[in-house]
């Protein structure tokens, strides 16, 4: 059968550097850091006392106050970005076949804030017997955001959550892409959200020595590809894309941001938390995406890298890029959004795919900020075009976005400029 073409017709974002897509993009290309001292809880006794938090978020702008109380923060973010994306797409829901509109939306962790709160309350008051919020379980589970979005709009199409740690929302986009091109849906609301800046989240990652401890300078702590990088900075928020079958989009006169060209998936099969030192899984996932898109390495203009600012992870991704792209690796642009947003965990893939789409649409490559120390990591090839510190204008016909998750889960999406 001939596969259908899939385009992006709507975007939504809640991030540490902006609570809408336009605000996010403006701050991204201007190199604004979203990092600062943690306000969600008292982090004064933690090794890491800062994060990239969402600012000035008011759930009641999107959800009735009573309903919001039934949701963990990660679900509130999901509802917010889904509403922005659906509105942006111009979908007239009442005129659509709701059986052909689905929701594939994930979280890497889910309602950890709710879990922490409920278990803490039980531990403090267990002499009074077990007392739990009746919404404890539906607030906590990582599939509930997808369910809440479908309930809000009455979407009866494919509906489920994806969970693959930091690759989660890229996996969600890949699944949505495949279902639409196979004719299983006309439209799918896809992406991910996360709200893990809690004592358990920060404490857990601290115990693994995964987070930066640069407490004296939070805004410069996320520094991918710099020799002094010492771990990632935790972020939070959500990203949502409206993926739509091309003919369906054209029939309703939708604006089209970009086309999804292909996706790739792979597994490291190596370690619980560390990427393969030679980047084998990263290499395979990019090769798979290029094959799926029927593209050559030379077709790619920009890579929005996973680039978490960890000592080992940054090196392995660069090794993989050099192997896959060869000489062309020196001609394309490379940058990491996480230098500004921090690591949004399960939401990272969706937010970074949005950044890639906007790079294609606007002809601007966002920078990797916080590179100040020169070319002094012998494991990093600084002759590559890392787009350090300042955005670069260039035509971006094709962009590739990488995400890699604990457990060795790798997912990649390629977007391209839409053409008839």
Average pLDDT of each block of 10 consecutive residues along the chain (420 residues)? 96 98 98 98 98 98 96 98 98 97 98 97 91 96 98 98 97 98 98 98 97 98 96 98 98 98 97 90 98 98 97 96 98 98 98 98 98 88 96 98 97 97
Q: Are strands 333-335 and 302-304 parallel, antiparallel or unpaired?
A: parallel
366, 257 Cβ separation under 8 angstroms: no
355, 304 Cβ separation under 8 angstroms: yes
Give residue 375's pLDDT.
82
**Residue that has been written with the tokens 């030679």 in this structure:** 278
Give the number of other Cβ atoms within 10 Å of residue 326's Cβ.
11
350, 170 Cβ separation under 8 angstroms: yes
- Topology of 7-416 in CATH? Peroxisomal Thiolase; Chain A, domain 1 (3.40.47)
Interior angle at CA 79, CA 237 and CA 177, nearest 5: 85
- Give me the half-sphere count of Cα atoms (radius 13 Å) on the Cβ side of residue 73: 21
Give residue 376's pLDDT.
85
Q: Which residues are catalytic?
A: 166, 306, 343
How far is the CA of 331 from the CAs of 188, 221, 323, 387, in angstroms?
A: 34, 28, 14, 11
308, 221 Cβ separation under 8 angstroms: no
**The model's pTM:** 0.97
Helix and strand element counts for the chain (H, E):
13, 14
**Residue that has been written with the tokens 């889910």 in this structure:** 110
Task: Give the dihedral sign, CA 384/390/394/398.
Answer: positive
């Amino acid at each position: 059968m001939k596969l259908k073409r899939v385009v992006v017709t709507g975007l939504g974002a809640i991030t540490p550097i902006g609570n809408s897509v336009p605000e996010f993009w403006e701050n991204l290309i201007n190199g604004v850091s979203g990092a600062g001292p943690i306000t969600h809880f008292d982090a004064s006794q933690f090794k890491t006392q800062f994060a990239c938090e969402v600012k000035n978020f008011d759930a009641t702008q999107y959800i009735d106050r009573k309903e919001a109380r039934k949701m963990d923060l990660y679900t509130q973010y999901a509802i917010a970005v889904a509403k922005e994306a659906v509105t942006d797409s111009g979908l007239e829901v009442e005129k659509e076949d709701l059986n052909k509109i689905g929701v594939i939306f994930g979280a890497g962790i889910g309602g950890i804030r709710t879990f922490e709160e409920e278990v803490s309350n039980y531990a403090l008051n267990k002499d009074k017997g077990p007392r739990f919020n009746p919404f404890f379980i539906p607030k906590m589970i990582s599939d509930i955001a997808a369910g809440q979005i479908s309930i809000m709009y009455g979407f009866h199409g494919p509906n489920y959550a994806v969970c693959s740690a930091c690759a989660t929302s890229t996996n969600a986009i890949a699944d949505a892409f495949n279902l639409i091109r196979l004719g299983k849906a006309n439209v799918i609301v896809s992406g991910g959200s996360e709200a893990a800046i809690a004592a358990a989240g920060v404490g857990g990652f601290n115990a693994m020595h995964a987070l930066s401890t640069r407490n004296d300078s939070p805004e410069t702590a996320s520094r991918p590809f710099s020799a002094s990088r010492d771990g990632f900075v935790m972020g939070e928020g959500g990203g949502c894309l409206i993926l739509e079958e091309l003919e369906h989009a054209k029939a309703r006169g939708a604006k089209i941001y970009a086309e999804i060209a292909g996706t790739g998936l792979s597994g490291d099969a190596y370690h619980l938390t560390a990427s393969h030192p030679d980047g084998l899984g990263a290499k395979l996932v990019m090769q798979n995406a290029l094959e799926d898109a029927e593209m050559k390495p030379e077709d790619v203009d920009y890579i929005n890298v996973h680039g978490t600012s960890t000592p080992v992870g940054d090196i392995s991704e660069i090794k993989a890029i050099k192997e896959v792209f060869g000489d062309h690796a020196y001609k394309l642009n490379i940058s990491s959004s996480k230098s500004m947003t921090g690591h949004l965990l399960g939401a990272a893939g969706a937010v970074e795919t949005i950044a890639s789409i906007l790079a294609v649409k606007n002809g601007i490559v966002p920078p990797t900020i916080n590179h100040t120390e020169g070319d002094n990591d012998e494991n990093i090839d600084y002759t590559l075009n890392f787009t350090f510190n300042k955005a670069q204008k260039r035509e971006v016909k094709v962009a590739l976005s990488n995400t890699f998750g604990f457990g060795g889960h790798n997912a990649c999406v390629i977007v391209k400029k839409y053409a008839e």
